[in-house]
């Protein structure tokens, strides 16, 4: 079967209708698979495990040409360490109206070209991590951190790697004021751009940090273009981040960023 479960499926809560919450781990290791739920609020795949191995995420997509619609991917491990709800390591993966919920390293956007439209990502720190080339289109990132949170941790290791996270028309919210940065470098050439997005007061004024490695200030690329909201003010941003012009932002803000004109339906 293309869709491989790594644990038994959850039992139905009644004798006549299936339970819309599956307590299981799922691995997708064949191409051209689509998973569709009735609604993300009612169709949930959940597991409870810390990130100790590549097999730890609740759901892992390892193959190309994957599509998911109206599903929630959840890891309920808690606040004591990383716990991945979804790992995406295949090329040309697209998610529509999906939810990703955990506390640390919620969405491991690992490798490949990916597209998220109208999705919701929740966590306390490092909500989106990995080294993929990804466009987040009209998505909502919500920080549950009261201190030390980060929305992203991109892992680009060399300037030659054509990867990065782009957030366009998105919304950033959180539980507290000034609790969460936009990103920090998991790799020295980390690349993240926020464009045309709403940033609430949960975003810290400095915006970005070097993760205690000042050398990354010369190599990471962090940019912002025409964002709005209390947390979008650029006068307090770290000096090594970029307030982008329209020309500078242009490569990041359409589906061309992920070659979507060739594979997105």
**pTM, entire model:** 0.93
Q: Work out the number of other CB atoms within 10 angstroms of the CB of residue 152.
A: 27
C-beta separation of 113 from 133 below 8 A: yes
d(CA 261, CA 241): 29
Q: Which pLDDT value is given to residue 161?
A: 98
Give the pLDDT means over successive 10-residue stretches in the chain (265 positions): 45 42 95 97 96 95 98 97 98 98 98 98 97 98 96 98 98 97 98 98 98 98 98 97 98 98 93
CB 190 within 8 A of CB 166: no
How far is 107 from 173, CA to CA, in rounded Å? 17
Q: Which residues contact 202 (CB under 8 A, 6 or more apart)?
A: 143, 149, 172, 173, 174, 175, 176, 177, 178, 179, 180, 231
Task: Count H helices and E strands in the chain, helices first.
Answer: 2, 27
Quick one: which H or E segment has residue 47?
Answer: strand 44-47
CATH entry 2.60.120.260 includes domain 32-258: no
With b for 16 or more beta-carbon neighbours within 10 A and e for fewer, the 21-60 pattern comes to ebbbbbbbebeebebebeebeebbbbbebbbeeeebbbbb
Per the CB < 8 A criterion, the answer to whether 214 and 188 are in contact is no
Instruction: Round to whole Å and give the CA distance between 214 and 219.
Output: 10
pLDDT of residue 21: 87
The pLDDT assigned to 243 comes to 98
CA distance linking residue 153 with residue 129, whole number of Å = 5
């Amino acid at each position: 079967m293309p869709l491989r479960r790594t644990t038994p499926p959850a039992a139905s809560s009644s004798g006549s209708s299936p339970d819309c919450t599956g307590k299981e781990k799922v691995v997708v290791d064949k191409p051209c698979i689509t998973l569709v739920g009735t609604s993300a609020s009612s169709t949930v795949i959940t597991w409870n495990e810390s990130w100790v191995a590549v097999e730890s995420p609740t759901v892992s997509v390892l193959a190309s040409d994957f599509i998911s619609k109206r599903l929630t991917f959840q890891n309920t491990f808690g606040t004591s360490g990383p716990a991945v709800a979804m790992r995406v390591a295949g090329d040309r993966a697209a998610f529509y109206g999906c939810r990703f919920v955990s506390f640390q390293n919620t969405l491991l956007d690992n490798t490949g070209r990916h597209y998220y439209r109208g999705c919701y990502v929740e966590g306390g720190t490092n909500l989106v991590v990995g080294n993929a080339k990804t466009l987040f289109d009209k998505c909502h990132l919500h920080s549950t951190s009261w201190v030390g949170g980060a929305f992203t941790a991109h892992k680009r290791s060399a300037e030659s790697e054509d990867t990065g996270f782009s957030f366009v028309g998105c919304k950033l919210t959180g539980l507290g004021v000034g609790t969460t940065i936009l990103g920090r470098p998991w790799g020295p050439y980390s690349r993240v751009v926020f464009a045309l997005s709403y940033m609430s007061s949960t975003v810290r004024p400095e915006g970005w940090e070097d993760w205690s490695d000042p050398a990354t200030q010369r190599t990471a690329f962090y940019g912002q273009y025409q964002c709005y909201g209390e947390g979008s003010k650029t006068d307090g941003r770290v000096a090594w981040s970029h307030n982008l012009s329209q020309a500078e932002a242009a490569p990041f803000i359409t589906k061309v960023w992920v070659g979507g004109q060739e594979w997105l339906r």
